[in-house]
Structure 1
Amino acid sequence: MTEKTLAERIGPAPAPTLPTHSATAGWRTATADDIDAIHAVQAAADAVDHPTWITPREDVADAFDLSYIDHGRDTLIAFAPGGEAVAFSSAMLHPSREGTLTVTIAGAVRPAWRRRGIGTAALRWSHARARQQLAEAVADVPPGEWALQIKVYAEESAPDVVTIAEPLGMRVERWFTTMVRDMSTEPPHPAIPDGVELVPYSADRALDVLAARNDAFRDHWGSLPTTEESWRKFVGGEFLRPDLSRLALDADGRVVALCLASVNQDDWETLGASHAYIDLIGVVRDHRRRGLAPAVIAASLEAIAREGLSKAVLDVDTENPSGAHTLYERLGFVATDRSLALVQRF
């Protein structure tokens, strides 16, 4: 039996047609003029689905600056008769071409407009667009073993996404946990390995830290290399706090571990406490099992405590092979909310 080609694995992938719905005035794809409308939908949904944090407008705006996203084809918006945006959905093909092609679907529906089939129509459109993106991408990749997948993430508190996605062939594969540390207790002081120096993050090391990040996450579930374009958006954004972030350098000055933290004061009211969010924690593969992770995290926690912030927050893959969940518990973090990832593989 002949092995299927990549195109055959995906199957028919026609361009999606705009949905119609009796409760909406119309649907169209997005432009940069829709940033505020999309953020308003997302913020309204966030307040219900995960009320401890709200997606910053900057995150939405940054997505319109990335060269590999064409919102005129990739993002759909639904409008109410009065002109208000009530839902949106995007399908974004990751730019990595290292053996995996991944499209991530994201979107939201205003809570008052849910349970009417609008979210179903939006997600189905994005799923069709995702299949089209994969079909277009496989035509340009070199021969070889390729993983092809579509993903969507959802909060455990918002089960409607699972109900809509599963009939499309998507299955829950992974769970993630939000963990919070009360900074009223003193951070631990683990030993710093010999030959290692801990320093704050600095912009001149941006690409060195990117290289360390990509090496550290290469064997993590679902992780793909971060591009320089996306990385500079993150480290150059207004929320990253270099003074609260820490790097571990070896004797040659190479970045071998990282703990990057950010602060978004708009989230303080929703969580009910001032806090820093730890975005990334990683140790390069040839320096693991040396105690670098607890050392670099503890150094960042000390900086957060000196800043006078009440809590530290992070998210972790519950099946992380490095045992991160247990490590964070030892450092004083307590599990709170959970989210999940659904995946369709071709």
Structure 2
Amino acid sequence: MTEAIHLFAGPGGLDAGALAEGVHGPGIEWDDNAVATRRAAGLATIHADVRKHGPQDFPRATLLTGGPPCQTYTVAGGGAGRLVLDQVIDAVKRMGAREAVDPKLLGDERTGLVLEPLRWILADLDAGCGYEAVVLEQVQQVQQVWDAYAEVLRGEGYSVATGVLHTEQYGVPQTRRRAVLIARLSGEVKLPEPTHRPYRRGIPQHEGDPQLKPWVSMGEALPDRGPFAVVSNYGTGGDPRNRGRRTSGEPAFTVTGKISRLRLIDPDGHELPRLTPSEAGRLQGFPADWPWTGGDISQQIGNACPVPLATALIRAAIA
């Protein structure tokens, strides 16, 4: 039976996706608030720094998943990771050659955390084991890093697929792009095929490829809300002056850690109550009763891997 170890496990998006595929295993998470949510949800949790552990601590795990912190890579962040992207890619190649790499040389310590899954993978291989499957996801700006991972992992005997996926094409009621990597030691692996149509502004939900399901709207995810519109909390393209607007008949904008600032208005233009944690979580594909706990809940939700995407990635990895 497949058992997982989830790195940077957050509030449980990848765990929930794994459990949907019958895959159990603990998650490592250092943030107190995310740990509180995980434990309230009954998820096996190690409250620790990923850097303080390694594959030797979880010898039964055959699937490794991870979503390293994105703050230094995302357009909405400061961009420290993007500025040293070439150095990060070089570090990946050097690790593949078994050269020592000091992540501190990359500046902001969060930038170097994107190297941690590779450290675990290579350490497990060098111990004579090797994870049977790997699933990684991050903001789309990290795609070049995953491509560098792929080169290293193929040299170690893995079949690897990378790409940028659109979450609404996997049943998430939100348009969000994620850079992903799937690897498997035995047999060929490929990215999961979309199950839903892509969202295109102005194209009705029922139009498009008849072999795919319609994308899921906010109204379908939040049926008790009635008709509403949202005003983007961060601005199209990351420009706060360029705030877009969508109706409840469309998918949500990308859910970020500022989801609590999202303005909702009714058809007459009146302000509506802001999204509850349960509602914001549902826009990430979490169940309505997910027990969001602790502080900074908006950030927990924004950082999470959307559950339907996680399910699709893990299914592709272990199929």
Larger % of strand: which?
A: 1
How high is the TM-score relative to the length of structure 2? 0.29
TM-score after normalising by structure 1: 0.27
